[in-house]
Structure 1
Amino acid sequence: MKETDQTTTASTIQQKTPDALHADIEALLSSRCTIPGSLPQWERAFTKLCMAWGRIEDSINPVHIVYSADNGITEEPHIQYPQSITYHHTVNMLHGGATISAFCRFNTIPLIIADVGINQPEPVGLNLKAATGTKNFTKEPSMSKEEYTHVWNKAAQLITHQKEAGYNLISFGEMGIGNTTTSAAVLSALTGLPPEETVGYGSGASEETYRIKRDVVRRGLALHHDAMTSPQDILRCVGGFDLVALTSSMLACMEQQLPFVIDGFITAVALATAYAIDPKVADYALPSHQSRETGMTAALAFAHQPPESVMLHASMALGEGSGAVLMVQLLKTIYYAFTHIISLKDIFKETLP
């Protein structure tokens, strides 16, 4: 069989019942000339992609989205970097000088930079902002209901546009000084875990700033306790615009039958929030790496992402979606392999034992 014939064979398995599709996927994988069970995690990832699409696609066509926003919590003393870094680094991403820019360029993956709340009047990249940053959640809710709804709807529309443009896999990243603090607060509110189990060191905090950071989260949770009666309320009260956009995007991916790849701690918390809203979103999510942030494991567990689904263990904590894009390239490689490796029938002309 020629290589092109195998691709045709794969792509002709169109929309079927989930059970019938799963059987076709298993038949395809078991027919390849690989040792049975020798690529188990990648077989599971391949299966998850196809089940999310509802068919076996010819190939992966990815796009990467980075949501950038500023956080009012940067007023607190544990933040070690000026808020303006969010703006300057987002400009850097847009102009091609950031890590994520290089990763996407090298791997020929389109990169979308979306401004959902940078503290500058002029937008950087795609303008989805409702405000120039959130408020300090130790004093008041992070955002108004109107601001929340604006970002939520704009992010969902962006995902619809990617589906219409022909992309079938989306990876997510984020940028925003202070967003490990907002993410830890959201995760504690969702799970009931204390800050000691959700707050990490972020961008190199000292022991003293780490202590202050835990206290900041604790104070925010206490202030908004009565108002946080739903996952959406949690996002609005102690989250960030990046988390709102990510959560909305993941649920929109589910609605559009688009599998998606998450990055590190912030995107894992967004997935946990999306899961709290609709557990079916777990079937569309593909983790990329095990961030070194304290709450990463708890966020993935809450979102029903088993440890074996996390492929990369490299102590990463960069953000931007750097781990997600590396995962996309691995997925493209394995997907191409499974749909192009010749079958055992093509090697052995006689019936196999």
Structure 2
Amino acid sequence: MTLQEQIQHKINNKTKPLGSLGRLEEAALQIALIQETLTPELVRPHIVVFAASHGIANEGVSAYPSEVTFQMVLNFLNGGAAINVFTKQNNIDLTLVDAGVDHDFEPDEKLIDAKINHGTKSFLNQSAMTKEECQQAIEKGKEIVKNIAATGCNVIGFGEMGIGNTSSAAVIMSKLLNITIEDCVGKGTGVNPDQYQNKINILQKAILNHAEVSSDPMQVLQTFGGFEIAMMCGAFLSAAEEKMVLMVDGFIASAAFLCAFKLNSAIKDFAIFCHQSEEKGHQLLLEKLNVKPLLNLDMRLGEGTGCAVAFPLLKSAVTFLNEMASFESAGVSDK
């Protein structure tokens, strides 16, 4: 029997009707395959939140001003955000990264200073970052994950904070999947109908202004991305290399995953998509990746909150596989 057949046999022989634990069975199989074992373990779960400022935020695409990005990083550092309470609740380690926030933070042991620049340029009329900055962000994301993997962590999720980053994610999705921008743009932080139309108009104009940009993932990321999205792209690639279980959060994390997937399609085997965001483009993006999210709670917060909330389900998947009796061991008659 192949390893996959052995794992499936173990799942099927638990004291339950065949397939009755549904998506938990799928998750158990996937995690066991990632770890190449019949007895998988989730060790030192970790979520990394990458924060960066976006030049496009100054074009009126968000309901919130750009300075909310650095104010929220301070909130993370003080333990006051949703991701802080959910990681604490589920005993998940949390790492905060300044990928390129337009603010100079006081040195803090809780914050990794990986600042590429003080925010990206507005991609309305110019590239968000230089080729060198994009490469630097990807490499930094890889390095951060390698350091976390060295602590023994084998399950990791990524979150983000960056006012304007749903605009980046929408354009990345539009370019890489060849879908009209209208189908990719959502309300983001909660813009009103007029602001929503304005957001679409601005992003359409930005795409036209960069008509020469192909569907090459590096070129798309450099032109329309954010430092936190590029860093997350590198982080996904590195986590797959380290054979970690990848927890994918919402719309922006999925756009970063899409960039990484276009660079190395093998990373999909390591990825568990934690939830379907309420952000309009996310459902379509998940469909195009041909993946099923674990949860749909109408969430659209980012920060990695979907990963933190879904993590107990991954624990349940591993626990039933390791601890539930088989028909044989329990002396229960199989049908």
Pick the TM interval, shorter chain.
Answer: over 0.9
Tell me, in whole angstroms, the C-alpha distance in 2 between the residues paired with 1:57 and 1:120: 46
For the aligned residue pairs, the C-alpha RMSD in angstroms reads 1.6
Match of 1:95?
Answer: 78
Tell me, in whole angstroms, the C-alpha distance in 1 between the residues paired with 2:331 and 2:37: 28
Tell me, in whole angstroms, the C-alpha distance in 2 between the residues paired with 1:230 and 1:286: 25
Match of 1:332?
Answer: 315
Match of 1:272?
Answer: 258
Which amino acid in 1 is paired with 2:28? Answer: F
Which amino acid in 1 is paired with 2:308? Answer: V
Greater displacement, 337-346 / 176-185: 337-346
Match of 1:39?
Answer: 21
Which amino acid in 1 is paired with 2:280? Answer: T
Is the 8 Å Cα contact of residues 24 and 316 (structure 2) preserved in structure 1? no
Match of 1:25?
Answer: 7
Tell me, in whole angstroms, the C-alpha distance in 2 between the residues paired with 1:224 and 1:290: 30
Match of 2:31?
Answer: 49
Tell me, in whole angstroms, the C-alpha distance in 1 between the residues paired with 2:83 and 2:31: 23
Tell me, in whole angstroms, the C-alpha distance in 2 between the residues paired with 1:39 and 1:137: 46
Tell me, in whole angstroms, the C-alpha distance in 2 between the residues paired with 1:218 and 1:315: 27
Tell me, in whole angstroms, the C-alpha distance in 2 between the residues paired with 1:241 and 1:303: 23
Tell me, in whole angstroms, the C-alpha distance in 2 between the residues paired with 1:269 and 1:57: 32
Q: 1:344 to 1:229 in 2, by over 3 A?
A: closer
Greater displacement, 74-83 / 310-319: 74-83
Alpha-carbon offset, residue 57 of structure 1: 4.5
Alpha-carbon offset, residue 216 of structure 1: 1.4
Is the 8 Å Cα contact of residues 248 and 274 (structure 1) preserved in structure 2? yes
Is the 8 Å Cα contact of residues 272 and 300 (structure 1) preserved in structure 2? no
Candidates 260, 271, 275, aligned match of 1:285: 271
TM-score between both structures, scaled by the size of structure 1? 0.90
Which amino acid in 1 is paired with 2:290? Answer: H
Candidates 175, 179, 189, aligned match of 1:193: 179
Candidates 181, 195, 209, aligned match of 1:209: 195
Tell me, in whole angstroms, the C-alpha distance in 1 between the residues paired with 2:274 and 2:40: 22
Q: What does the per-residue CA deviation read over 1:128-178, in whole Å, with 9 as the maximum and x for residues that have no partner?
A: 111010000002100011211111101001111122111111111111101
Is the 8 Å Cα contact of residues 282 and 304 (structure 1) preserved in structure 2? no
Match of 1:348?
Answer: 331
Identity of aligned residues (%): 28
Tell me, in whole angstroms, the C-alpha distance in 2 between the residues paired with 1:56 and 1:226: 50
Tell me, in whole angstroms, the C-alpha distance in 2 between the residues paired with 1:146 and 1:310: 34
Alpha-carbon offset, residue 352 of structure 1: 5.1
TM-score between both structures, scaled by the size of structure 2? 0.94
Q: What does the per-residue CA deviation read over 1:259-290, in whole Å, with 9 as the maximum and x for residues that have no partner?
A: 20111110111122222222111111111111
Which amino acid in 2 is paired with 1:96? Answer: G
Tell me, in whole angstroms, the C-alpha distance in 2 between the residues paired with 1:57 and 1:257: 16
Tell me, in whole angstroms, the C-alpha distance in 2 between the residues paired with 1:89 and 1:335: 34
Match of 1:7?
Answer: none
Match of 1:68?
Answer: 51
Alpha-carbon offset, residue 249 of structure 1: 1.1
1:81 pairs with 2:64: yes
Q: What does the per-residue CA deviation read over 1:297-339, in whole Å, with 9 as the maximum and x for residues that have no partner?
A: 222123231xxx3121111111111111111121112211221
Q: 1:133 to 1:49 in 2, by over 3 A?
A: same
Is the 8 Å Cα contact of residues 104 and 110 (structure 1) preserved in structure 2? yes
Is the 8 Å Cα contact of residues 171 and 328 (structure 1) preserved in structure 2? no
Q: What does the per-residue CA deviation read over 1:37-71, in whole Å, with 9 as the maximum and x for residues that have no partner?
A: 10121111111112122224542121111111110
1:147 pairs with 2:147: no
Query: Superposition pairs for residues 219-258 of structure 1, below 5 Å?
Result: 219-258=205-244
Runs of 4+ in 1 over 4 A off after TM superposition: none
Match of 1:12?
Answer: none
The structure with higher relative contact order (CA 8 Å, sep 6+) is 2
Which amino acid in 2 is paired with 1:40? Answer: G
Is the 8 Å Cα contact of residues 172 and 263 (structure 1) preserved in structure 2? yes
Which amino acid in 1 is paired with 2:31? Answer: L
Tell me, in whole angstroms, the C-alpha distance in 1 between the residues paired with 2:60 and 2:235: 32
User: Tell me, which stretches of 5 or more residues in structure 1 are unaligned?
Assistant: 1-18
Alpha-carbon offset, residue 27 of structure 1: 2.0
Alpha-carbon offset, residue 236 of structure 1: 0.5
- Secondary structure of the 1:227 match is coil
1:111 pairs with 2:73: no
Q: 1:54 to 1:196 in 2, by over 3 A?
A: same
